[in-house]
Chains A and B, each alone.
Chain A
Amino acid sequence: MGKKNTAVIGVGQTKYASARGDVSMAGLVREAALRALEMADCTWSDIDAVVLGKAPDFFEGVMMPEIWLADAIGCVGKPVMRVHTAGSVGGSTALVAASLVQGGIHERVLTIGFEKQSESNAMWALSLPSPFTTSINAGAGGYFSPIIRRYMAATEAPELIGCMVALKDRQHALMNPYAHVRDPELTFDKVVESPMLWDPIRFSETCPSSDGACAMVLASESVGDAHAGPVAWVHGSAMRSESGNFGGRNVVSPQASEDCAADVFAQAGITNPRAEIDVAEIYVPFSWYEPMWLESLGFAEPGAGWRMVEEGATTHGRGDLPVNCSGGVLSSNPIGASGMIRFAEVALQVMGQAGDRQVDGAKRGFGHAYGGAAQYYAMWIVGTDKP
């Protein structure tokens, strides 16, 4: 008993864009799945089970779309599951898929996260009137901006740290052919001058609304060992949730975040995350969440996360802990896939398959996703070496 070793043997992503009008939802998920199968050296018939994840069904207007997509995702005659844990869903979906291998149930599991936001209207989907709760109708930015303010006040972080994160992630996106927002002309001044949406969050400090899908093939130890190409081994995996309504919660660094990180680092035998992790993909939909999560996750001392940003510690090619070399959620945000992209990107890094955004010698990567009122967490650590 105990967790069985699990390997990522294939990763597939679609081009992320505000509207992928060239494909149906089925076409979109297949695009990612086929690329993952190709890298994994697999065909559909090698796959034992499929785990699909996405955010609210209202985003496309299809109820429980894994039912309709059964044929497109190659699971006819097989088990299929559909995960939905708010914004963390892409990460949670990968972890549910991993658990099927870790528990010894299956040899090869295909996992897919997707969102095709252009099919519907996310602001409408998020603003449906509910008879028992009052909607703030301000979108996610309206919810998170006061929390960011609180962080800024508590740490006395300089006002423009968020703009530095935004520019960094958008510049990283230029190295990622799949990224949605790729603007070579973007400068620090342009970020600073972009319209203020939810003070202190500017337009250029917020995530886009994207269509896209990400897929991975997860495999057992024997399949991973036999795989001819590079593999990424899972060194730790954890999920945590907490109430978003509890008055006593620390909204800047929720306990679920700290607990989840502590769990996943302990599983990987990591005591000094900053020194022992080579590359991280952290779920940062609003720029300021990079320094906030660096502290909450234990990469920086409390109050010192913004200094890592200022010093360039999280910049590709410059810092000791490159964060979001893919461009992150700030550059591509197909919500249901966003968490899985974080997980998949660090897998690519430790496989040495991250193309122009590769961090030299990356051996251990940290993937992170969060959702709801910063109350749902999914994290994993992958490494080049078998644990």
Chain B
Amino acid sequence: MRDVAIVASAQRQERAIPSESEVEFMVPLMQQVKDATGLTQKDIGFTCSGSSDFIAGQAFSFVMTIDGVGPVPAISESHVEMDGAWALYEAWVKLQIGEIDTALIYGYSKSSGGSLRDVLATQMDPYYVAPLWPDAFAIEALAARQMVENRRVSMDQLAEIASRSRRHGADNPHAVRTRQKSAADIMAEAPVASPLRPSDLPASADGGCVVLLAAEDTARSLSDRPAWIRGIDHRTDSHTLGVRDLTRSMSAELAAQKAGVANDKVDFAELHAPFTTSEFVLADALGLGEDTVINPSGGALAAHTMMASGLIRLAEAAARITAGDGDRAVAHAASGPVLQQNLVCVMEGE
């Protein structure tokens, strides 16, 4: 495989960005990454983005956002209706072909205009399940109930995850849930979708993330310490909740194995875990032990921008590698109900 690294990133996450369109709030982030690397759009070999029409409330919504890139003259470009982490994967594949040396990736959404938990019900089987409008919190609660009743995890453990995510989020300028709460205080919260309490749920935000990928010497020229991608893989599980063991993630296990997570110690992991329960399942699936710091950014429990949250995990992990906070990191992105689809990326400093 060709050596490819994340060399720069920019993000913005806020509870709501009511007065700017997606293209308006993405342009400064794209510019930030270009300024950091001294590149212009003409220098970039491939551009790829991830977003969702259902969240934008408009068909072909990404067609507006591409103007933010400044695609004049024409560019080599593509779009996935997935989290930006999969746009990064597509760009990584393009870089493997070896005809280009740089790629710009972005993911974004503005979900504050609607009720995201209800919008996500439209991801379910449209004939038999979606008409019942099972919202995203209720579906995760089914998994959480199973995990707690099977004693896979205790409510105390979940409260600890929630409390620690708030603590880590306090140091993250992009976090939107930063009020500190002890595990005991979280245990006292009234459930939203039993057994899940408010602190177990994603900290929904509007915003986006832009990442620049570069290969080999180009990466070395653009960053003093590129975050090299040593393994990247993604897998999906069955959609049918009834045939899955919701207390585990087969697809995350498989992706982690293919990406080589266990080949060496992991200093820290950025997991796209929208719920405390998801983090528990993922840490288990990825085989992360006590010596790995989980979600130093606070993760999706501190700020969760749908369609960008996975890409932000990759950007956060890379930024920490570049800053020298660790030598080996795992970043993860998820999609679909109860972690149906998972992408795992192993990054190292040099």
**Inter-chain contact B90/A99, CB cutoff 8 Å:** yes
Q: What's the minimum C-beta distance from B144 to chain A, rounded to whole angstroms?
A: 20
CA distance A133 to B126 in the complex (A): 30
Which residue, B59, B119, B254, has most C-beta atoms of chain A within 10 A?
B59
Given known A57-B81, A83-B80, contact A64–B123 (CB-CB < 8 A): yes
Q: Which residue of A lies closest to B95 (CB)?
A: A103
| Chain B interface residue count, Cβ-Cβ cutoff 8 angstroms | 62
Using Cβ atoms and an 8 Å threshold, which residues of chain B touch A96?
78, 90, 93
Given known A67-B123, A241-B66, contact A76–B71 (CB-CB < 8 A): no
Which residue, B62, B78, B126, has most C-beta atoms of chain A within 10 A?
B78
Q: Which residue of B lies closest to A256 (CB)?
A: B74
Q: What's the minimum C-beta distance from B252 to chain A, rounded to whole angstroms?
A: 12
**Inter-chain contact A105/B239, CB cutoff 8 Å:** no
**Inter-chain contact B126/A62, CB cutoff 8 Å:** yes
Given known A56-B53, A240-B74, A245-B67, contact A25–B126 (CB-CB < 8 A): yes
Cβ of B31 < 8 Å from any Cβ of A?
A: no
CA distance A133 to B94 in the complex (A): 33
Cβ of A81 < 8 Å from any Cβ of B?
A: yes
Neighbour of A60 across the interface among B77, B79, B98, B126, CB < 8 A? B126
Using Cβ atoms and an 8 Å threshold, which residues of chain B touch A177?
none
**Inter-chain contact B57/A83, CB cutoff 8 Å:** no
**Inter-chain contact A132/B96, CB cutoff 8 Å:** no
Q: Which residue of B lies closest to A52 (CB)?
A: B81
- Which secondary structure dominates where chain A touches chain B? loop
Q: What's the minimum C-beta distance from B136 to chain A, rounded to whole angstroms?
A: 11
**Inter-chain contact A242/B60, CB cutoff 8 Å:** no
Q: What's the minimum C-beta distance from A94 to chain B, rounded to whole angstroms?
A: 12
Cβ of A84 < 8 Å from any Cβ of B?
A: yes
Interface string of B115-132 (1 = CB under 8 A from A): 000011011111100100
Using Cβ atoms and an 8 Å threshold, which residues of chain B touch A373?
63
Q: Which residue of A lies closest to B82 (CB)?
A: A82
Segment touching B, from A123-131, A185-193, A301-309, A348-356: A123-131
Interface of A with B (CB < 8 Å)?
1-4, 24-25, 55-64, 67-71, 75-86, 92, 95-96, 99-100, 102-105, 119, 125-126, 128, 130-133, 238-246, 248-249, 254-256, 259-260, 372-373, 375-376
Interface of B with A (CB < 8 Å)?
2, 21, 47, 52-54, 57-60, 62-64, 66-67, 70-82, 86, 89-90, 93-94, 96-99, 119-120, 122-127, 130, 233-240, 250-251, 254, 335-337, 340-341
